[in-house]
Structure 1
């Protein structure tokens, strides 16, 4: 089991730099940041751009893998974004993981104009990932699609990692899962919706894990239909999407790791605790978690 952490892009660099360094010193396997222009309840709070932040994090660290959690077509075009990805992979010395997803509704989806329907969003996502794959594996790309065009798009010298940066594809529905099965070195999920408001906290917790098991079974079927062995695709779980925050305590996080492993997940991802609001938790819990990482990787 590999364990990663998300650092939201909210702090000015002198503060953020120390946190990225601490993530590496703690021993996390990978560290991520969101790829949004603004996000939900934090839309009117400080929020920095993803690509320069990851480039800076790459120069402040040496070992830890770095990634987008997750990039989407809501405001990205595959051609310039592929250049960014190639550059980040180079600056990081081949440590980049590219998390991609279809993109949600809200600010990111509307800031550049009228948002697509859900069906259009998934179709656009499939083309987005397919073109990214071609761009990052070919020196020159020529393509005219329904949503994107690339004419003489040059990606030289290419990625440090071969044949390209690994894709970690976020998907909960069957169409997006097919994108993950086709192109992903990893599949990422935030699990099912958090449940019925009439459930007790304990019932909601159990219902979430049961729903997650159903998602895993669905992905297994989609992978097999795509001709891939399900075990050939790494599986990333956002444990903070569960009804209980994973950093409520180190014991809650350990239980989350054990249950994720039992469902076949290879990686879990937790969020750096904030002082208040979303992902609010005590940094002392993060310190305790860090001291137990080696044991947690083996927990069963």
Structure 2
């Protein structure tokens, strides 16, 4: 059974954003997410609010829906204070937190706190970040001294009764192995396509993205098999990694969700349409997608 979620970018003041988070739940989506950045790409000079208080507020005004980071990274986070944030969010949400984690990119966040790491350093830092965060969220006191982080008598009281699921964004062999070793889910955007990659035949670019995604998914199959996991990872696909925005129309979104499910993805994520720029599309497309959720997910109706 596929689950469907929506990303809400942290751009609106809470007085306006509150209704959107509640609407996503009322429409029957399974999870709702926001980006964990200090600033992001083409929206760097637009309003952008902090992730942790936004998710805490969303947890307080919803009841059922999973709430997640898409995705948190070490670019501007240390595992000890972030672990406390995670503990708080898990508590406020009643165990509904979905902890998306990634190595961090090379964009605006990478150098805000100092020189950006090399790609190799970023991967090693991410491995250590995940390992330390796992320790912090599974024991009352953590002691750690590593290449990038130290934690001395770091308290985590109360220890969560169940560690929030780690959903690890991974594209290469080393981070895929990390997902298989430490994760509960795998997050992928597919190949990196942008508007400039559409060319004269957007549909051909779209098919190329799906083809490469299938290759990546098979690679993840092999990594999981090598890890000998008893429980397979849930697989989360950001449908808007594709060249064509999923909510150009509800039909495009439905086709993408069905193709992803056939490929073995358990969860598919779209973005609340914006009026212009990145993720621009008609809001009615999201409403029309919501109306088709019962057929897509195999459940009877909103919130069931």
Q: Deviations over 1:182-221 (max 9, x none)?
A: 1111100000122856562121111100000000011111
In structure 2, how many angstroms separate the alpha carbons of the residues matched to 1:203 and 1:273?
23
Is 1:254 the counterpart of 2:281? The answer is: no
Output the TM-score relative to the length of structure 2. Answer: 0.95
In structure 1, how many angstroms separate the alpha carbons of the residues matched to 2:137 and 2:51?
19
Partner of 1:25: 26
CA RMSD of superposed structures (Å): 1.4
In structure 2, how many angstroms separate the alpha carbons of the residues matched to 1:10 and 1:206?
31
Q: CA deviation at 1:73?
A: 0.3
Partner of 2:137: 136
In structure 2, how many angstroms separate the alpha carbons of the residues matched to 1:77 and 1:105?
18
In structure 2, how many angstroms separate the alpha carbons of the residues matched to 1:116 and 1:90?
33
Q: Which runs of 5+ in 2 are unaligned?
A: 300-304
Partner of 2:264: 264
In structure 1, how many angstroms separate the alpha carbons of the residues matched to 2:275 and 2:245?
14
Q: CA deviation at 1:104?
A: 0.3
In structure 2, how many angstroms separate the alpha carbons of the residues matched to 1:63 and 1:221?
34
Is 1:170 the counterpart of 2:182? The answer is: no
Please give the secondary structure, in 2, of the residue aligned with 1:208: helix
Q: Deviations over 1:5-61 (max 9, x none)?
A: 000000001101010000110111000000000000000000000000000000010
Q: Deviations over 1:231-276 (max 9, x none)?
A: 6100000001101111011111111011101110000000001111
Partner of 2:288: 288
In structure 1, how many angstroms separate the alpha carbons of the residues matched to 2:36 and 2:173?
23
Q: CA deviation at 1:128?
A: 0.3
In structure 2, how many angstroms separate the alpha carbons of the residues matched to 1:189 and 1:199?
26
Output the TM-score relative to the length of structure 1. Answer: 0.96
Q: How does 1:201-240 map to 2 (within 5 A)?
A: 201-228=202-229, 232-240=232-240
In structure 2, how many angstroms separate the alpha carbons of the residues matched to 1:58 and 1:236?
21
Q: Which runs of 5+ in 1 are unaligned?
A: none
Q: How does 1:1-12 map to 2 (within 5 A)?
A: 1-12=2-13
Check 1:227–1:280 CA distance in 2 against 1; reply closer, same or farther (3 A cut): same
Please give the secondary structure, in 2, of the residue aligned with 1:22: helix
Q: Is the 8 A contact 2:198 2:243 kept in 1?
A: no
Q: CA deviation at 1:280?
A: 0.6
Moved over 6 A (4+): none
Partner of 1:186: 185
Partner of 2:42: 41
In structure 2, how many angstroms separate the alpha carbons of the residues matched to 1:136 and 1:290?
35
Q: CA deviation at 1:298?
A: 4.1
Equivalences, count: 296
Check 1:192–1:2 CA distance in 2 against 1; reply closer, same or farther (3 A cut): same
Q: CA deviation at 1:107?
A: 1.1
Q: CA deviation at 1:91?
A: 0.4
Q: Deviations over 1:42-94 (max 9, x none)?
A: 00000000000000000010110100000000000000000000000000011
